[in-house]
Amino acid sequence: MHMWKNAGMQSVASTSLPEMLEPILDTVLDAVIVLSKDGRVVAWNGVAEETFGWSSEEACGQLLADLIVPKIHREAHKAGMDRLGQGGAPRVLNRRIELPALCKDGNKIPVELSITTSRGTGREFFIGFLRDISQRRDAEELLRRQLREYEVMLEVTRIAGQADSFEDAMRTVLKTICEMTGWQAGHAFLVDRKDPDLLHASMIWHEEVEGCATQMMAASDGLTFRRGEGLSGEVLETGAPVWLSDINLEGNFIRQGFEFRGAFGFPLRSQGRITAVLEFFSNSPTATDESQLLLAQALGSQLGRVIERSETSEQREVLLHELNHRNKNLLAVVQSMARITFSGLADPDNRLDTFNSRLQAMARAQDLLVRGEWTDSTLREVIEAALRGFDSHRDRFTLAGPDIPTTAAEVQTSVLTLHELCTNALKYGALACDGGTVSVTWGFEGEGPGREFVFEWQEHGCQLDGPPTQTGFGTNLLKRGLSQAHGSQVKVEYKPGGVHYRMVTPSPKASTRTA
């Protein structure tokens, strides 16, 4: 700058300041614009051409206000130039300021501007140095956005991690995001555990003002979306945040005409898969906010892990409680079985063998329950489990009947009862005789309200001397076990050909499956 002033001071009448500066202008790294006192461009260097899109020929002679000053600022710019022309005090000279500038294509860019004055041939000129700071602004915005993401994630993670349950953690996430984004309501759709293409509307909502989402909550109750359907289905389909500026104009959004107009949603991820979709609503149409979408995308994977930990902890507590309950029941059965077994038999070795075989039957029942994840097993599966301890005689059994559901509560008693029937047959009945066989049948008899479920164990090909002279755990189990487990009537007959065991349930089973 000093070099230009000196050049101006040594100029002759035939040489203007812009002409004197011309060799220097193209070596400067910033855009340089020289203005006359009335605000017209008298010099425009190559960097200015690249920055603003106007060539030197197009720019020179034009009012600067018409070239790069946004319309909203032109009146202020004109007023400032008039004030300087009338000898007023300068307000922006010899300072660095940041302001928006207009390019030839209509785009606005942020620039850093500094203005100084110089004289040449008796005239005063304004020399402006302008630097495009778009990259710096972008970097600053990136840092601000990252800082905001970290703050949101830390806050949401902290609060959600302190939640007592999965639902509490989800509500905390919805509440925190609504507070930080200014949206009025948030809701969670959960991905079906068995069908990853299906979403269920949950009862997990957050309202910034109580009652502000009453209509939308009612419209969402019980909704399910397939992949690609509605806002949440589109998020599930794309795996990315989705923004709807006005839901009333969206053909793929069916919940229209209620309290809200704007909406956006994003996925929660856990172990590489989407586990939930969070949707948020605003009262008025809302233009897409890229920074919020980027924030949502960053939150999705982080929050998914937090929610997963909360859900896993809750499930662990439920499972531990259930395991404790089942173990207590199991120990009570073992204690009862041990007491009756060891008090009912004279031979110590025989008592131990009998007790061990009964424990093994219980173990098979546990295996059946675990394989089915403690859900219902069929009666055929229960019978097969009971017969596994007698594999060497398996070819002497015939089974016939439909696959009828048996609840987890019935499995242990049923397996133990069938185990006792097998044991007695092996010691005293059909399995103790050459050529003896056992037929096991089950099904329904009768029609309508009087229909009954019938289970029968029939031994063939052996000679019995009559009913046992001693009764113990096994006999009691045969007479009362299935009767109590199924609410049935049980009849045990000791016929010449073998034991005939018949159980009749007056009320039919709830459902059957084809064998």
DSSP class of residue 378 equals E
Q: Looking at the structure, tell me whether residues 178 and 81 fall in a common domain.
A: no
Q: Looking at the structure, tell me whether residues 408 and 479 fall in a common domain.
A: yes
For residue 8, the model assigns a pLDDT of 34
34: three-class secondary structure by DSSP: strand
Residue listed under structure tokens 């063939």? 460
Residue 419 CB-half CA count within 13 A: 27
Residue 8 sits in a domain whose CATH number is 3.30.450.20
Domain end (from 111, 132, 153): 132
Two structure tokens written together for 21: 């500066």
Q: Looking at the structure, tell me whether residues 94 and 158 fall in a common domain.
A: no
* Helices within 372-479 (DSSP H only): 379-387, 408-427, 473-476
Q: What residues pair up with 117 in beta bridges, in sequence order?
A: 126
**Is residue 379 one of the residues assigned to a domain?**
yes
Residue 283 to residue 262: CA distance in whole angstroms: 7
Residue 10 to residue 4: CA distance in whole angstroms: 10
Q: Looking at the structure, tell me whether residues 180 and 208 fall in a common domain.
A: yes
Q: Looking at the structure, tell me whether residues 119 and 200 fall in a common domain.
A: no
**Is residue 294 one of the residues assigned to a domain?**
yes
Residue 497 sits in a domain whose CATH number is 3.30.565.10
Q: Looking at the structure, tell me whether residues 67 and 120 fall in a common domain.
A: yes
Q: What residues pair up with 97 in beta bridges, in sequence order?
A: 113
| Nearby residues of 232 by Cβ (< 8 Å), 6 or more positions away | 189, 199, 225, 265, 277, 279
**Is residue 491 one of the residues assigned to a domain?**
yes
Q: Looking at the structure, tell me whether residues 152 and 288 fall in a common domain.
A: yes
Number of domains in the chain: 3
Q: Looking at the structure, tell me whether residues 448 and 477 fall in a common domain.
A: yes
**Is residue 226 one of the residues assigned to a domain?**
yes
Residue 269 sits in a domain whose CATH number is 3.30.450.40
Q: Looking at the structure, tell me whether residues 280 and 425 fall in a common domain.
A: no
Count other C-beta atoms under 10 Å from residue 322's C-beta.
11
Q: Which residues of 151-166 are buried (b: 16+ CB within 10 A; e: fewer)?
A: ebbeebbebbeebeeb
**Is residue 333 one of the residues assigned to a domain?**
no
**Is residue 510 one of the residues assigned to a domain?**
no
Element (H or E) spanning 439, and its range?
A: strand 437-445
Domain end (from 132, 161, 196): 132
Give the closest residue to 184 by CA, choosing from 83, 75, 258: 258
What is the β-pairing status of strands 377-378 and 397-400?
unpaired
**Is residue 303 one of the residues assigned to a domain?**
yes
Q: Looking at the structure, tell me whether residues 364 and 241 fall in a common domain.
A: no
- Containing structural domain, residue 209: 138-315
Q: Looking at the structure, tell me whether residues 144 and 78 fall in a common domain.
A: no
In degrees rounded to 5, what are phi and psi of residue 513? Answer: -125, 145
Give the closest residue to 264 by CA, choosing from 251, 275, 272, 253: 253
- What's the CA dihedral at 424, 429, 434, 437 to 10 degrees? -90
Q: What residues pair up with 109 in beta bridges, in sequence order?
A: 101
Residue 134 to residue 112: CA distance in whole angstroms: 10
Domain end (from 294, 315, 336): 315
What is the β-pairing status of strands 31-35 and 41-44?
antiparallel
**Is residue 199 one of the residues assigned to a domain?**
yes
Q: Please list the pLDDT of the chain residue by residue as tens digits (515 residues).
A: 333 333 333 333 334 655 666 677 777 888 999 888 888 998 899 999 999 999 999 999 999 988 999 888 888 888 877 777 777 776 777 788 888 999 999 999 999 988 888 765 567 788 889 999 989 888 888 777 677 667 766 766 666 566 666 777 788 888 878 887 889 999 999 999 889 999 999 999 999 999 999 999 999 999 999 999 999 999 999 998 899 999 999 988 999 999 999 999 998 887 778 889 999 999 999 888 877 777 776 666 666 666 565 555 555 555 555 555 555 555 555 555 555 555 555 555 555 565 565 556 556 555 555 554 445 578 888 888 778 777 777 888 999 999 887 766 566 677 777 877 887 888 788 888 888 899 999 988 888 777 888 889 999 988 776 666 655 555 555 666 555 555 678 888 888 788 888 888 875 444 443 33
Q: Looking at the structure, tell me whether residues 144 and 41 fall in a common domain.
A: no
Residue 477 to residue 354: CA distance in whole angstroms: 14
